[in-house]
């Protein structure tokens, strides 16, 4: 990306090379690319992500000095560029007369799938410059993959003597974006493909809400916690609290507190996950686990700052080491503090993960939470947790 930008000034002085401002129409309106970056982290899979990003792009005000539509072409056919063309077609107020696509590999790509071919395929990339000149095309959108840099530079060289405005439609949407953002450091553009949603003011909002809520809850449940502590002590031999090593923020080990519900205190290289009718679970411990009352001491972890009320549930260290090699993106969930409850838990992915698909579903929901985080979402999860605890049958 950087090398492409560096080459623009020498290849095509007419092309806008600022990553902060792109122009369209009669050059009378400006769209800041940072808006696209801020819209990239709010979908759970790639197709809706593309749709939302393109939709958000066109929510900005685009103005034209005349009613005449600007002629435009797209170079490179993909799901993303096809969505862009669709938006041109569905939004006449944009003032864009979309003429068609240029693509080199459409014959192989769409062989035997005529229903998926571009609606307006004008030719291959090499013929684009000639078409632009002959038809006085005002706007060119390059949607080639980043791996096609040599072809992009050659194309820009062919377009150097045209008056068309040239824009890039980056294919960074192909990555598993988590709170993606486009910014710059002293003028050098950088793209955050994966970063924590809790940076800047969001970090302070999250921490303040955690402290206020956990203090309030601990004051309310203090008598209940005392009764549970007595029950644990009387029901079986052993300590009241069970401390287990788990991964916290940035994959650092933390000690998570729980009321002891088993006759064992496993925290080694191999931890056997609790199963239904597990003989290690005490009678009183079974009640605590079904009602999630064994998790109440974790509000102390929240006050300590190593956990949050809402976030991905922490797994035992041994389980982390196993699943990180089996599930793509598993460790991304550790870009935030683990939570007492989470998006996965209120969506039915709570309890034993006896098959890999169950853990995969849990991780998918954890990553959705990172993409979509807001204080309102945290509150929704907290209230949903109450309902889940009452009726859920997956905890044991």
Domain residue extents for the chain = 2-192, 201-391
Q: What pLDDT is recorded for position 93? A: 86
Q: How confident is the model at residue 117 (pLDDT cuts 50, 70, 90)?
A: low
CA–CA separation, 179 and 201 (whole Å): 14
pLDDT-based confidence at 392, cuts 50/70/90? low
- Could you write out the DSSP letters of every residue in 221-276? HHHHHHHHHHHHHHHSSS-SEEEEEEE-GGG-EEEEEEE--BS----SS--PPP-T
Q: Tell me if the pTM is above 0.85.
A: no
Q: 185 phi and psi, to 5 degrees?
A: -120, 105
Distance CA 230, CA 252 (A): 32
In this predicted model, what pLDDT tens digit does every residue of 217-264 receive, in sequence order?
A: 999 999 999 999 999 999 888 899 989 889 899 888 999 999 998 877
CATH of domain 2-192: 3.40.50
> pLDDT tens digits for 187-200?
777 777 777 888 88
For the chain, the distance separating the N- and C-terminal CA atoms, rounded to the nearest angstrom, is 51
pLDDT for residue 271 = 62
Alpha-helix residue ranges (DSSP H) falling in the chain: 2-11, 33-38, 46-57, 79-90, 106-109, 128-134, 149-158, 201-235, 283-291, 298-304, 317-323, 356-372, 375-391
> Helix or strand or coil: residue 124?
coil
**pLDDT at position 166 over 70:** yes
Sign, CA torsion 261/263/267/269: negative
* Angle at CA of residue 336, ends 332 and 341, nearest 5°: 105
Render pLDDT for 336-354 as a digit per residue (tens, 0 to 9): 999 999 999 999 887 667 7
* Per-residue confidence (pLDDT) for residue 218, from 0 to 100: 95
Q: How far apart are CA 245 and CA 300, in angstroms?
A: 15
The residue count for the chain = 396
């Amino acid at each position: 990306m950087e090398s492409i930008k560096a080459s623009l000034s020498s290849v095509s002085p007419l092309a806008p090379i600022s990553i902060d401002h792109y122009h369209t129409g009669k050059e009378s309106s400006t769209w800041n690319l940072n808006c696209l970056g801020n819209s990239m982290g709010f979908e759970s899979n790639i197709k809706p992500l593309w749709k939302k990003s393109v939709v958000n792009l066109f929510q900005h005000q685009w103005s034209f000095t005349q009613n005449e539509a600007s002629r435009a072409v797209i170079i490179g056919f993909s799901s993303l560029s096809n969505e862009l063309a669709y938006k041109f077609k569905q939004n006449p107020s944009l003032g864009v007369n979309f003429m068609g696509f240029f693509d080199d590999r459409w014959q192989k790509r769409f062989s035997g799938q005529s229903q998926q071919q571009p609606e307006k395929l004008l030719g291959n990339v090499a013929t684009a410059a000639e078409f632009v000149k002959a038809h006085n095309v005002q706007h060119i959108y390059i949607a080639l993959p980043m791996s096609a840099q040599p072809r992009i530079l050659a194309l820009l060289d062919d377009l150097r003597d045209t008056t068309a405005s040239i824009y890039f439609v980056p294919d960074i949407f192909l990555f598993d974006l988590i709170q993606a953002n486009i910014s710059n450091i002293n003028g050098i553009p950088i793209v955050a493909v994966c970063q924590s949603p809790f940076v800047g003011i969001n970090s302070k909002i999250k921490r303040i809400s955690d402290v206020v809520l956990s203090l309030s809850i601990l004051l309310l449940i203090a008598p209940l916690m005392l009764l549970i502590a007595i029950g644990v002590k009387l029901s079986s031999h052993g300590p009241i609290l069970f401390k287990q090593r788990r991964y916290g923020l940035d994959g650092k080990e933390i000690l998570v507190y729980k009321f002891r519900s088993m006759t064992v205190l496993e925290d080694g290289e191999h931890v056997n996950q609790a199963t239904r009718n597990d003989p290690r679970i005490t009678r009183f411990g079974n009640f605590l686990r079904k009602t999630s009352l064994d998790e109440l001491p974790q509000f102390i972890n929240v006050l300590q700052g190593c956990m949050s009320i809402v976030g991905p549930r922490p797994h035992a260290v041994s389980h982390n080491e196993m699943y990180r090699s089996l599930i793509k993106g598993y460790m991304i969930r550790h870009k935030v503090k683990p939570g007492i409850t989470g998006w996965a838990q209120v969506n039915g992915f709570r309890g034993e993960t006896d098959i890999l698909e169950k853990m995969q579903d849990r991780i998918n929901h954890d990553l959705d939470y990172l993409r979509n985080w807001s204080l309102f979402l945290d509150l929704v999860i907290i209230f949903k947790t109450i309902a889940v605890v009452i009726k859920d049958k997956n905890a044991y």
